[in-house]
Structure 1
Amino acid sequence: MINTNELQLRTVQVTRYVTPLREGGSMPAIAEADDDFLYVLKFRGAGQGVKALIAEIIGGEIARALGFKVPEIVFASLDEAFGRTEPDEEIQDLLKASIGLNLALHYLSGAITFDPAVTVIDAKLASQIVWLDCLLMNMDRTPRNTNMLIWHKELWLIDHGASLYFHHSWQNWQEQAKRPFALIKDHVLLPWATELELVNEEFRALLPNELIRAIVGLVPEEWLSSESAFESATAHRAAYAEFLETRIASSEIFVNEAQHARTSLI
């Protein structure tokens, strides 16, 4: 069991913008930091703002707590002078809008995109990943864009920024916590996810409320303070925790939906 008192993210200072990654609309980039490591840098000034970064932290750290391989997530500080020499106007605007605290993941150099036609995933692992994505309401693990990498012959999960999409409006969020995840029908691993009931029992036990609150507690206060739906950052943080705790307690709802969607495929 993870010691919740030890849950924390390192902070690095971005020292060099290497190259943009133009997949998707958020324009992440490969960047170097003051610890000499390369990172995939995700900007607070991109289209979905800090909400995508919040989803990345919560989704990535829940995945890690469940035993999945996830690149280390760090806070990445961007200095005001950083983008002044950038010749690309669009990138320069993004850098200016992202001064301060951003998010980054260790860059897995040489990793290749997971292809289900090439790499065989066993039923247990497929079921575990489907369960995770049902919990997180992650719409972004499809055959078109698997958001999984093979690195040193092991499967790594990346890019959870599209998870928890309810938080873009916070409308009826208590009710949404108990809703099935209909988009699971498009999940790249759903055809192989035959052990969802077993995984449901195991994973619920691995995510006690204390751990969920500790993971949500990693989100910086400044990223939570501007949401008009809540009177304070504390209330905003508590809503994330309550949503996830309710969803875990009601997991049979999304498990049943996934099983029904899988039956429809075969």
Structure 2
Amino acid sequence: MKYTPPELRTVDVTRYVTPLREGGSLPAIVEANDEFLYVLKFRGAGQGVKALIAELISGEVARLLGFRVPEIVFVNLDEAFGRTEPDEEIQDLLRASEGLNLALHYLSGAITFDALVNELDATLASQIVWLDGLIMNVDRTCRNTNMLMWKKELWLIDHGASLYFHHNWSNWEDQAKRPFAQIKDHVLLPKAKELETVNDEFSAILTPERIQALVSLIPDAWLTGVESPFASAEEHRQAYATFLNNRIANSEIFVKGAQDAR
């Protein structure tokens, strides 16, 4: 059966609700023209569009593997939107983010996952550890789990710090075949006792066809510019696909790294 890739909706910001002062990226809760609230990740923030690309690819990989991830949408930010914002820092961010940004559906009333309170079985813990080993997610620690409990279900959020290899493309092909050292700090690592079983199951799901479909979601406008080391947006896009396919093909490397860290 042919795989049908996800189709991301595009919405327009109509109201800036409040900033979420977490780290240096200053995401914000905004309202869009569909009357839903979203957590908006700005292209003009510290890590620029690379954080948006990581959020997009990693979030949709997680969704494909069966995890609950808030809906991801593209968000247009009009050039006139920030003119009435009194906070100069936020106004500068809005101006630098004109055009296409990324957002996740806001889970109103969700609470932060607490490993001491919320029990997870070994299977789910192993699945999340495997995902984070694949995407090299440094941001799932006891200090900041980036998991939410919403309506008694676990949701994964905030993957902008993953795929950090793309901040320096000089040795990206080698990094695809390396263990993920930071997995030692993963909040769920002590419970991840079924990594080999999960590896077989998840590797079979993430076929090259499905990876290709996911990276095709990256807008051309995010793949061009003075920082791109590639000749075209398509060449840049294919580098992400190659990296992920190589990492999946060599998944036993990051699985063994996680097992050793346990």
TM-score, normalized by length of structure 2?
0.98
Equivalent position of 2:242 in the other structure: 242
Q: In 2, Cα distance between the equivalents of 1:4 and 1:73?
A: 19
Q: In 1, Cα distance between the equivalents of 2:5 and 2:253?
A: 32
Equivalent position of 1:47 in the other structure: 46
Identity %: 75
| CA deviation after TM superposition for structure 1 residue 42, in Å | 0.4
Match status 1:31 vs 2:30: yes
Larger mean Cα displacement after TM superposition, 219-228 or 33-42: 219-228
Which segments of structure 1 move beyond 2 Å, counting only runs of 4 or more? 3-6
| CA deviation after TM superposition for structure 1 residue 6, in Å | 4.2
| Contact 2:179/2:253 (8 A) holds in 1 | yes
Task: Classify 1:67/1:187 alpha carbon distance in 2 versus 1 (closer, same or farther; 3 Å).
Answer: same
For the residue of structure 2 that corresponds to 1:19, the secondary structure is strand
Equivalent position of 2:143 in the other structure: 144
Q: In 1, Cα distance between the equivalents of 2:228 and 2:190?
A: 40
After TM superposition, the structure 1 = structure 2 runs for residues 73-222 of structure 1, keeping only pairs within 5 Å, are: 73-222=72-221
| Contact 2:147/2:157 (8 A) holds in 1 | yes
Question: CA-to-partner distance for each residue in 1:66-102, whole Å, 9 max, x for gaps?
Answer: 0000000000000011001100000000000000000
| CA deviation after TM superposition for structure 1 residue 8, in Å | 1.4
For the residue of structure 2 that corresponds to 1:14, the secondary structure is strand
| CA deviation after TM superposition for structure 1 residue 132, in Å | 0.1
For the residue of structure 1 that corresponds to 2:55, the secondary structure is helix
Match status 1:230 vs 2:215: no
Q: In 1, Cα distance between the equivalents of 2:114 and 2:180?
A: 24
For the residue of structure 2 that corresponds to 1:12, the secondary structure is strand
Question: CA-to-partner distance for each residue in 1:16-44, whole Å, 9 max, x for gaps?
Answer: 00000001110000000000000000000
Question: CA-to-partner distance for each residue in 1:113-172, whole Å, 9 max, x for gaps?
Answer: 000011001000000000000000000000000000000000000000000001001121
Q: In 1, Cα distance between the equivalents of 2:121 and 2:4?
A: 34
Q: In 1, Cα distance between the equivalents of 2:152 and 2:6?
A: 27
Question: CA-to-partner distance for each residue in 1:181-234, whole Å, 9 max, x for gaps?
Answer: 000000000000000000000000110000001000000001001243111111
For the residue of structure 2 that corresponds to 1:5, the secondary structure is coil
Q: In 1, Cα distance between the equivalents of 2:213 and 2:241?
A: 9
Residue type at the aligned position of 2:234 = T
Residue type at the aligned position of 1:248 = I
| C-alpha RMSD of the superposition | 0.9
Question: CA-to-partner distance for each residue in 1:43-74, whole Å, 9 max, x for gaps?
Answer: 00000000000000000000000000000000
